[in-house]
Chain A
């Protein structure tokens, strides 16, 4: 068990292997380096998409045209969605923290297919380049929304095909990562680590990986069908050619609903690691959390129609989808009870990871509750396509997955970089982020109920107060995000040297040096205890 700050073999951040410097990073099959490759891309593209979002908020602070015209606005919300959904939120947690921490948590030296892992990252980069290309080509940025609904997506003269191809390539990257993680979890757990001795972040990644593998191909083929419609005039979705536009919506959401569970399950896994560490007691209801992850993944396949309640599907279809939507909320609620119960009676240490994790629970609950209004058939009619929906999914995705990502980066930062960040700056950044976030999105619930449509460039005067407040919130939020990233970037070079176990955690990653050596463990550990065992004898 290594307690030394620097491992005698050096860390994965130093030059090893055949290539040095940048080439060493671009050719590395080390899961820890690949995690950082993903991290840097994701941070960059997150800010690109965030600035697009901020621009939209600025534009909407006053009615009428201010800094952009309507066409540009449509292009902005489209690419904001494409980047955020396909490049940040779907890959984000699994590709960064899954890659970094999964092998460590299960006592392995790497994932099952390290070269495939690097290939997944290259696919991600190619997808990103295609998405950027769609913005720069002469036919203009796509204006279809990230949901690419037909008939507009087959008719729009903008660069839809590069965007569709980008999503396809990014989906392939996601599939391969999921495949890698499934085999890793099945085959590479340390001796003695049975399924129910495995920590809960791997459980979450396992459930997520199955969704990645089974749902993503459906959107793959659907995107190909839209490309076929644009290029070859094969008209599965075009009524003039015999097709059905609602068929597109079904196929699209059969993936895109499970996709939101790809987004949220790893997030839940991350906070499930943070709560026991900062309460210094085991997770309450380990079995419930493990099984509820699988249940969410499973039931999540059967609710896609709740995106289509106003599309003309039959009454009994709507009834079925609404019913299952209410059911799928139950395993999530079970987790919330388990998290709170983990904290209860514990020795609470309110470090930044815990603060973000608690914020996650709060914001996720708001998002979840507002989802019930959308899942109920009668209220959905009023709320569909309003900013209520926009606020709902931003609370769930940004407040949920986003804040869990912030929690995760503050949790594993010392392990990844061997440095501690400034807690004070982290708290200040948190305050700006939390206040800004709520100010940005909460008013949109209210004006949404009052009738403000989504994806609208302009609006009636009675909605201006809400947009104005949102705009202020957007600036405050952006300040917080910049502060947060700056704190981390600065601390990477100037922070105090981190010990192996700054948080007194009991999972395997805290038993090795910070940052870890290339092959993680000198000796593969043999697992004897339950996970989250806080017995004091051999852990100190």
Chain B
């Protein structure tokens, strides 16, 4: 942790500090979603049967597909980090592009999934929803808010990974300085992890 005497701040790169910062940020994101998990837990215990009934509307097939898609994307992003560490620029970029493609597949699936619900008039504020029993109403509120917020984070992750691709191309990210790709990969794993919780909560255990 020692400093050389006259180092200018711009020359200084603290790999460990950079990672520490990203981990702390990840904790804040976990607490953000944690609030929603808490609300889910409260209402699920209160309206167990309603949650079960409403969950029948969720499409377990698409949910499972999306889970597999995200898991594979976590694998590709991890592989891209190894590639950069081994100075394989091209391979790293290809793997990141694959990750982005899988993310896109996830979003397209989500589009169809939500679209189907909208066709059934199951969206927040709709007449159909308001006429449902309270527990089912809450389930759908949680469903849309949690998957919606998650999708927003998928988008943020995609932007981060795209930025990383550009930085690899320009040479700013390389074997001696790969904090950006590692931290972006970490963020991507977080996005995946949140889904790993959402999927059982919304599709399986209800």
- Chain A residues near B (Cβ < 8 Å): 109-110, 112-114, 116, 175, 179-180, 182-183, 186-191, 213-218, 220-222, 224-225, 228, 232-236, 241-244, 247, 251, 519, 523-524
Contact = CB atoms under 8 A, between A and B. Distances in A.
A187 B1 contact: yes
B27 to A, nearest CB: 7
Contacts of A112: 14, 17, 21
Given A187-B1, A235-B137, A242-B138, A218 B21 contact: no
B82 to A, nearest CB: 25
A218 B42 CA distance: 15
15 contacts: A113-B21, A116-B21, A187-B1, A217-B28, A217-B34, A225-B36, A234-B124, A234-B144, A235-B137, A241-B130, A242-B43, A242-B47, A247-B39, A524-B3, A524-B5
B18 to A, nearest CB: 8
Contacts of B14: 112, 187
A228 B135 CA distance: 17
A251 B8 CA distance: 44
A216 B28 contact: yes
Interface in B8-37: 8-9, 14, 16-17, 20-21, 24-25, 27-29, 31-36
Interface of B: 1-3, 5-6, 8-9, 14, 16-17, 20-21, 24-25, 27-29, 31-36, 38-39, 42-43, 47, 124-125, 130, 134-135, 137-138, 141-142, 144-145, 149
Given A110-B9, A225-B39, A244-B42, A183 B28 contact: no
A168 B19 CA distance: 25
**Most B C-beta atoms less than 10 A away, residue of A216, A220, A221, A222:** A221
Given A112-B17, A182-B24, A218 B34 contact: yes
B17 A523 contact: no
B35 A222 contact: yes
Given A112-B17, A241-B134, A232 B24 contact: no
B141 A187 contact: no
B45 to A, nearest CB: 12
B62 to A, nearest CB: 22
A67 to B, nearest CB: 41
Closest 4 CB pairs of A and B: A242-B134, A221-B35, A234-B141, A217-B31
B15 to A, nearest CB: 10
Contact of B20 (A187, A214, A233, A236): A187
Say what secondary structure dominates the interface of chain B: helix
B137 A241 contact: yes
B137 A214 contact: no
Given A220-B32, A235-B141, A109 B9 contact: yes
B53 to A, nearest CB: 13
Contacts of B47: 242
A191 B5 CA distance: 11
A236 B24 contact: no
Contacts of A242: 43, 47, 134-135, 137-138
A232 B124 contact: yes
Chain A CB within 10 Å, residue with most, of B17, B42, B124, B141 = B141
Contacts of B145: 224-225, 228, 234
Mostly helix, strand, loop or mixed at chain A's interface?
helix
Contacts of A114: 9
Nearest to A186: B20
B28 A214 contact: yes
Nearest to B16: A187
Contacts of B32: 217-218, 220-221
Contacts of B2: 191
A215 B134 CA distance: 30
A114 B11 CA distance: 13
A190 B142 CA distance: 48
Nearest to B40: A236
Contacts of A235: 137-138, 141
Contacts of B29: 217
Contacts of A215: 31
Which of B21, B25, B130 is the most central at the interface, judged by chain A CB atoms within 10 Å of its CB? B21
A233 B125 contact: yes
A221 B33 contact: yes
A346 B35 CA distance: 49
B35 A190 contact: no
Given A179-B21, A222-B35, A191 B28 contact: no
A218 B3 contact: no
Contacts of A224: 145, 149
Contacts of A233: 124-125, 130
Nearest to A241: B137
A191 B4 CA distance: 11
A221 to B, nearest CB: 4
B27 A186 contact: no
A179 B28 contact: yes
A190 B125 CA distance: 57
Contacts of A109: 9
A221 B36 contact: yes
A257 to B, nearest CB: 15
B21 A183 contact: yes
A385 B145 CA distance: 33
A406 B39 CA distance: 41
Contacts of B125: 232-233
A318 to B, nearest CB: 19
A213 B22 CA distance: 12
A218 B35 contact: yes
A186 B17 contact: yes
Contacts of B17: 112, 183, 186-188
A241 B27 CA distance: 31
Nearest to B141: A234
A251 B124 contact: no
Contacts of B135: 242
Nearest to A233: B125
B1 A191 contact: yes
Contacts of B25: 179
* Residue of B16, B17, B33 with most partner-chain A CB within 10 A: B17
Contacts of A241: 130, 134, 137-138, 141
Nearest to A189: B1
A54 to B, nearest CB: 37
A274 B43 CA distance: 50
Given A179-B21, A225-B145, A232-B125, A243 B34 contact: no
Given A112-B21, A179-B24, A523-B5, 4 more contacts: A213-B28, A220-B32, A235-B137, A524-B3
